[in-house]
Amino acid sequence: MRGKYVYLPLILILLFVFPVVKPPLFFLTLFFSVFMYVGLTESWNLMGGYTGYISLGHIAFFSTGAYTTAVLMNRFGASPFATAILGGLFASIVAALVGYPVLRLKGAYFTISSMLLSVVMQLIFMNWEFVGSSTGLWYKLLPVSIETNRFIFYEVMLGLATVITLLVRWVEKSKFGAGLIAIREDEDVAKTMGINTPRLKIRAFVLGAFLAGVVGGVYGYYMSYVHPEVTFNINTSLLLLLMSFFGGCRTWTGPLLGAVVLSLMNQLIVTFIGAEISRIIYGLLLVIVIIFMPDGVLQYIKGMKKIMD
């Protein structure tokens, strides 16, 4: 296994120094969203990939983070970045409260309930005056030029995505991860191994929510505007699932690949061709991947290599 991904640190360093060459702002914006999807997909994968609990409510945690930042800045003029961590904490509290009952459900029942979580939260935020209800919340950007602004958020999100990916990778190779994978494979057998399955599931759920909340917290600051229909968009939850499955949800590399490829593709098609076409291509691609590469593109390539050898 060692040395298999030696080129990844190299790419990472290049990405970190990339803004030095003063690229067009478009690239910084584009990459910001790629990094954001990497962070979200990796954090989603703790439950969806390793534990096998497919959640469509991840966006609720992301939005909790975004709103935490928005409210703290708009109402209290709080200083940024600390709010991102707070956003993560709020998101984990939501996850703990919801997870306790909902994680008793399995399969489609869990998926539907998790989806309802984000739908219900969206409704609440739509009607909650304090958080701006259906008009959303505006707040001030950093008092710096737009270039500096983009540059700062580019670096912060890249750092965040890196930390999340490394953390998820660590989980995958740890005892914690082994327990989660056992739950995915057979929850009853996992129990006979002495695995406290409810406790492990809630830990993974809360950790995933925390990470998504932090990402949301940074995003909320970057956007300078939050609105329930934008942040709680259920399509985003769906995208995370698709990205993870596209790359292959059983390893940390799958969601990384899926998030990078699909979010780049999506952004580029939307920018240069059109949103409608993007959806068609996107949908077609996913049908193809799910039918012909059910374990994701990475596993498929590995399998092909084996046949070639």
Partner 1 sequence: MLEGVRVNRRFGGLKAVTDFDFRVEKGQIVGLIGPNGSGKTTLFNVITGFHPADSGKILLNGNEITRCKPYDIAKMGLARTFQIVRPLLGLSVLDNVTTAVLYGRENIGSMAKGREKALDLLKFVRLDSKKDVPAQRLVASERKRLELARALAIKPELLLLDETFSGLNDTEVTDAIKLIFRIRDELSVTIFLIEHVMKAVMGTCEKIFVMQYGVKLAEGKPEEVSRNPAVIEAYLGKKKHA
Q: Does 309 bind partner 1 (CB under 8 A)?
A: no
Q: Does 12 bind partner 1 (CB under 8 A)?
A: no
| Residues paired with residue 226 on neighbouring β-strands, in sequence order | 137
Q: CB of 113: closest distance to partner 1 in angstroms? A: 22
Nearer to partner 1, 227 or 250 (CB): 250
Residue 171 touches partner 1, criterion: CB under 8 A: no
Pick from 178, 234, 238, 285 the residue near partner 1 by CB under 8 A.
178
Q: Which of residues 55-74 bind partner 1 (CB under 8 A)?
A: none
Closer Cβ to partner 1, 129 or 188, answer by number: 188
Between CA 234 and CA 231 the distance in angstroms is 9
Residue 238: C-alpha distances to residues 16, 111, 114, 291 (Å): 29, 11, 12, 18
Residue placing its CB nearer to partner 1 in the complex, 200 or 214: 200
- Pick the closest to residue 89 from 177, 214, 226, 195 (CA basis): 214
Distance CA 89, CA 175 (A): 24
Nearer to partner 1, 142 or 178 (CB): 178
Q: Which of 225, 27, 234, 25 is nearest to 137 (CA)?
A: 225
- Contact between 280 and partner 1 per CB under 8 A: no
Among 45, 118, 197, 244, binds partner 1 (CB under 8 A): 197
CB 69 within 8 A of CB 132: no
Instruction: Kindly tell me the burial class for residue 128, based on how many C-beta atoms sit within 10 Å of its own C-beta (0-12, 13-18, 19 or more).
Output: middle
Q: Does 116 bind partner 1 (CB under 8 A)?
A: no
List contacts with partner 1 (CB under 8 A).
173-175, 178-179, 181-182, 184-186, 188-197, 250
